[in-house]
Amino acid sequence: MNPIDWLLDRNLGYRHLSDGEKEAMTHFVMLWTLFEAEVLRTKASIGGIFDVVNELCGKGLLSRDEFVPALGYWKDRYLDGGQPNYYFERLRFRDNDKQEFVLSVLKEEAVELSEIATALLIIVYRIRNNLFHGSKWSFAMLGQKENFTFSSHLLMHVYDAHEQKALV
């Protein structure tokens, strides 16, 4: 049986997704698995994200311009009047996920490229955890296209930078 047909038969929210939402989610899943395998060496963690970003920033391989659109989008999505909102809470930060650090970047209190890149990758990591561990199914993944699209863009940028570090 075709997995798409199976999902549609189960009415698990999948049938309500647009083709664009399905495509963005599929791209994100494929890119995350490559990113985790190659960049994070199969050990996805907040500490690993900090290490990778610090190394790439130290070598001058990340571009602020690549992070600005996602920062603007997530700032608008996750803050209302400078305060975290419902959508931010839905990221379901765990105790060691550096929630306050991410907020400081979204509030533009932390502005170094390494801080921005790390905080945005932590958001990507939370989106990944929520998707892979089932939380996204609780609201049918509706309205997630931009989250997946911005996440995918950042994963590709950091992956490319990771590849470049071998040449530096």
**pLDDT per position as a tens digit, 29-45:** 999 999 999 999 999 99
Residue 7 lies in a domain: no
- The alpha-carbon radius of gyration of the chain (Å, integer) is 16
pLDDT at 97: 93
How many domains does the chain divide into?
1
Residue 3 lies in a domain: no
Give Cβ neighbours of residue 167 (< 8 Å, ≥ 6 apart).
none
Handedness of CA 104, 106, 108, 112 (dihedral sign): positive
Residue 1 lies in a domain: no
Residue 2 lies in a domain: no
pLDDT at 81: 95
Q: Which of 144, 133, 148, 146 is nearest to 13 (CA)?
A: 144
**CB 91, CB 124: distance < 8 Å:** no
Quote the domain boundaries for residue 144: 18-165
Residue 11 lies in a domain: no
Helical H runs in 1-144?
Answer: 3-10, 19-38, 46-58, 64-78, 86-89, 99-106, 113-132
Q: Which residues pair with 84 in a beta bridge?
A: 79
Residue 10 lies in a domain: no
Residue 4 lies in a domain: no
Backbone angles phi, psi at 84, to 5 degrees: -60, 145
25/66 Cα distance (integer angstroms)? 20
Give Cβ neighbours of residue 146 (< 8 Å, ≥ 6 apart).
24, 73, 77
Mind listing the pLDDT tens digit of every residue in the chain (168 residues)? 778 778 777 766 677 778 888 899 899 999 999 999 999 999 999 999 999 999 999 999 999 999 999 999 999 999 999 999 999 998 999 989 999 999 999 999 999 999 999 999 999 999 999 888 765 554 556 678 999 999 999 999 999 999 998 776
Backbone angles phi, psi at 9, to 5 degrees: -65, -30
Q: Which of 40, 27, 55 is nearest to 164 (CA)?
A: 55
Residue 149 lies in a domain: yes
What pTM was estimated for this model as a whole?
0.92
pLDDT at 137: 56
